[in-house]
Structure 1
Amino acid sequence: MNNDQLLKAEPLGRHLILELEEVQEEFLNNLDFIEKVLLEAAGRAGAKVLGQISRHFQPQGVTVIVGVSESHLSIHTWPEYGYAAMDIFFCGHDVKLELARQYILDQLKPGKIREQIINRGLS
């Protein structure tokens, strides 16, 4: 590929970074709930789930990483601050990042959202 082709190339994937604030502590410290939210978000986006790693920390907080054929979804929570750090990276054009994002926001109901989308790849 020459430089002109690289500049015009479609991104190989999109990476969504989400910082969620003012989320109910009960949501953020409930490992089963967070697992279900991420798995359902992956399914609604059309991603193929390959597996997950989950951890409940003491005295509080959870981490869930869901591996999908198209890459991953992950979250780490700080219930004591009402805060969650998330990222969703999907490659390809068959999965719908926006559907995963909206489902997660609908379930966690954050009072504040900071987000950034990064086009990954050669563009």
Structure 2
Amino acid sequence: MHGLHLTADLRGCPPQAALFTDPEALRQRCLHEVRCCGLRPVGELFHRFAGGGGVTGVVLLAESHLAVHTWPELAAVTLDVYVCNFGADNSARAEALLAALEAAFSPVDVQRQRLQRGGA
């Protein structure tokens, strides 16, 4: 049950980027970054909200999950990366995934949180 849970709130992102409103573009980028960081996707779901809304996406990982929520009307994104460290320490992979996705959205401001889960 030991793991690392990372979140980031991104503000001031260029909302015209396809990642904000195109679920397939966001899906492809997320899966690419997950694999590049050495994590293993086992499923995913991406949904665009009607009326010019953003996209919510989830990638289920063998190690746990990635969740992304975009708000083009606010030029904002939230990222959530959780990895279990059962059998191997995946913390560096989680950090790399979060950093890669933050960079993809080019935010002006980032607020991060880090939570060690399953402590003694």
Q: 1:104 aligns with which of 89, 95, 101?
A: 101
Aligned CA-pair RMSD = 1.5
Asked if 1:66 corresponds to 2:63, the answer is no
What secondary structure is seen at the aligned counterpart in 2 of 1:25? coil
Identity of aligned residues (%): 25
Asked whether the equivalents of residues 44 and 59 of structure 2 are also in contact (C-alpha less than 8 Å), the reply is yes
What is the alpha-carbon distance in structure 2 between the residues aligned to residue 108 and residue 78 of structure 1?
12
Aligned to 1:88: 81
Mind listing any 5+ residue stretches in structure 1 that lack a counterpart?
Answer: 1-10
- The range that moved more, 75-84 or 98-107, is 98-107
What is the alpha-carbon distance in structure 2 between the residues aligned to residue 64 and residue 15 of structure 1?
17
Aligned to 2:7: 17
Asked whether the equivalents of residues 51 and 66 of structure 1 are also in contact (C-alpha less than 8 Å), the reply is yes
What secondary structure is seen at the aligned counterpart in 2 of 1:23? coil
Mind listing any 5+ residue stretches in structure 2 that lack a counterpart?
Answer: none
TM-score normalised over the length of structure 2: 0.86
Deviations 1:2-22 (A, max 9, x none): xxxxxxxxx811000110111
